[in-house]
Amino acid sequence: MRTVTNYFIVNLAFSDASMATFNTLFNFVYALHNDWYFGLGYCRFQNFFPITAMFSSIYSMAAISVDRYMAIIHPLKPRLSSSSTKVVIALIWMVAFSLAFPQCYYSVTKFYYPRTVCMVDWPDDYGGTHQLSYQFAVILLIYLLPLLVMLVTYSLVGRSLWGGHIPGEATEHYHSQITAKRKVVKMMVVVVVTFALCWLPYHIYFILGSFNRDIYKQHYIQQVYLAIFWLAMSSTMYNPIIYCCLNQRFRAGFRHAFAWCPFIKVSEEDKMELQYTHTFRVTVTRSSRSVDSYTHGSRKTNNANSEKVACLQRKKNLPAASALKITHRL
C-alpha cells in the first residue's frame, strides 16, 4: 500500500481529519450562537487552519492526478520516489502555512455588547483592497488552479484509457491492468468532483459578500450560511466512503488495518488482494533488474565489437568508411 498515490491520500486524509477535529465543531457553535467563546488564540487558529488544511487537501488531489498522468501516459519516465514524495508533501504544507498566515496575523476578537466576535481586521477594513485581493488569491490558488490541473490531467488520462484502441490481441493480464487503472481514475475523479461541489457554494457566498455586505443582513442569512458551512465541512467525511465503495484494495487494506476490532473480519479474498499487490511489486522489481542486466550485457558486446574494429584497422590500415562496414557486419 506504500505507493506514491497512497502517500498523497494519507496526507489528504490527515488534512480532512484535522479540519474535522479542530475547526468544524467550534465554527458551528460560533455560527449557531454568533458569540465567540474560545479566546483570541483559538480565534487566530480557526481563521488560519481551514485555509491550510484546504490547501493541503486539494493540492494532494492535484499531485495524485499528476502522478496518475505520469504513470499512464508516460509509463517509461521515472516517477517520484518515497523520499521525493515526502518532500513534495512538506512543500505543500509550507506553502499552505504561508498562504494562510495573513488570516492569522490580522485576526482579532472584539466585544460588541452583548457578544464577542472573532474576525479578520484588515488594514483597510472589510471589502477593501487588501481583503478583496487576498480573497481572490485564495480562491484562485486553492480552488480554481488545482481544479484546472486535475481537469486537464484526468481528461488526458481518460482519453488514453477509454478512447484508445488496444492493438492486436492483448493478454488477460494487460486487460486486468487497464481495468485496475480505470477504477483508480474513476475513484479519484469522484473525489475531486465531490470536493468541488461541496466548496463551490462556500466560495460564491464570500465572493458575493465581498461586493455587497448587505447580503449578511438578510433575514435568513444565518441559516443559509450554516447550510453552506455544513456542506463545505462535510467534504471531509466523503473520501473514506468513496474509497471503500469504489476500490477493493482499499477495502482489503482497511479490514487488515482494523482486524483487531471484533466485528471486522479479514476474508481470504482480502488476503489474496493484498498478496497480489506484494507479488506484483516483486515481479516489477525483478523485471527492472533483468532489464538492467540486459543493458549491461549489451554494453559489453558493443565494447567487444569496437575492440575488434580497432584491431582490424591497425592490421589492415583500413579507412574509417571501411571500418563502419565491418562494424555493420559484426
Each residue's pLDDT tens digit, 140-189? 998 999 999 988 988 888 888 776 555 545 567 667 777 777 777 888 88
What digits encode the pLDDT tens for the residues 203-217? 898 888 877 778 877
CA atoms within 13 A on the CB side of 62: 20
Q: Which residues pair with 107 in a beta bridge?
A: 120
What's the mean pLDDT in 89-99?
A: 95
Omega within 30 of 0 (cis) for the link into 114: yes
Q: Are 150 and 62 in contact (CB under 8 A)?
A: yes
Residue type, 163: G
Q: Are 266 and 259 in contact (CB under 8 A)?
A: yes
What digits encode the pLDDT tens for the residues 14-26? 998 898 888 888 8
Q: What is the pLDDT of residue 90?
A: 95
What digits encode the pLDDT tens for the residues 116-149? 999 888 887 766 788 888 888 989 998 999 999 9
Q: Rg of the chain's alpha carbons, rounded to an integer?
A: 28
Secondary element (H or E) of residue 127:
none
Q: Are 12 and 61 in contact (CB under 8 A)?
A: yes
Q: What is the pLDDT of residue 2?
A: 67
Query: Which residues neighbour 82 within 8 Å (Cβ) at sequence distance 6 or greater?
Result: 2, 4, 7
Give 14 or 246, the one with higher predicted confidence: 14
At 213, is the secondary structure helix, strand, or coil?
Answer: helix
C-alpha cell at 237: 467525511
Helices 172-211 + 129-139 axis angle, to 10: 170
Q: How far apart are CA 195 and CA 183, in angstroms?
A: 19
Cα 25-27-28 angle, rounded to 5 deg: 65
Expressed in percent and rounded to 5, the helix, strand and coil fractions of the chain are 80, 5, 15
Give 105 or 161, the one with higher predicted confidence: 105
pLDDT at 279 over 50: no
Q: What is the pLDDT of residue 310?
A: 52
Q: What is the pLDDT of residue 135?
A: 86
